[in-house]
Homo-oligomer: A and B are copies of this chain.
């Protein structure tokens, strides 16, 4: 195991393995081989082993992986071994879905505060929380110390919110708004776009590549 940078696809799969392991643990299974993980995750056994090899050696040849042990290791890798507070900005439909999402708890992810800029909403209850004024985000996160933030506001406000989150000390942003966010290089952004996912499916669901060759201008006005 040499000291290389961990590929992002590996990190993404780590979360999948964790889910499989938690399910297995729930079911009382004590040990799992990479082969069995493949069965449950759909991810190639060699891939699983190589993914883990970026972080150390966790299995026993001839036996497999201790479910409980590997859960702990992956949780530690992903910093999910201690409760991870999250700032949510945007008390709309998506925000409501997130605070009501039951699966966060199992991963020790906790939405610690909700913010909005709509003064009608501020002060109202939202799940277990009360909606706070976005203007107070920095002040409030001085107490919470969250490093993760979620942007669930319209695209037009997303950049402004991103700036505020960064200023409040957040270094990882989950962005639901359909915009490219500009952030300092040490801040990580992941975008979730329902539209993008559906667009890809829309293409794939009709596999006829009727691949229209042609020049640029059609329908609309010509270029220049």
Contacts and interface: CB of A to CB of B under 8 A. Distances in A.
Given A31-B224, A213-B57, A216-B65, A192 B194 contact: yes
Interface in A168-224: 170-174, 178, 180, 188, 190, 192-206, 209, 211-224
Number of chain copies forming the complex? 2
Contacts of A205: 79, 147-148, 170-172, 188
Contacts of A40: 180
Contacts of A174: 194, 197-198, 201
Given A63-B223, A223-B63, A198 B109 contact: yes
Contact of A199 (B15, B96, B198): B15
A19 interface: yes
A184 B80 CA distance: 35
Contacts of A94: 97, 101
Interface stretch (A69-77, A117-125, A134-142): A69-77
Contacts of A204: 11, 171-172, 188
Most-contacted residue by chain B among A30, A55, A84, A97 (CB, 10 A): A97
A49 interface: no
Contacts of A1: 213
B69 A199 contact: no
A69 B58 CA distance: 54
B96 A215 contact: no
A69 B217 CA distance: 5
Interface string A26-66: 00001100000000111000000000000111111001111
Contacts of A101: 93-94, 194
Contacts of A78: 199-200, 202-203
A213 B58 CA distance: 8
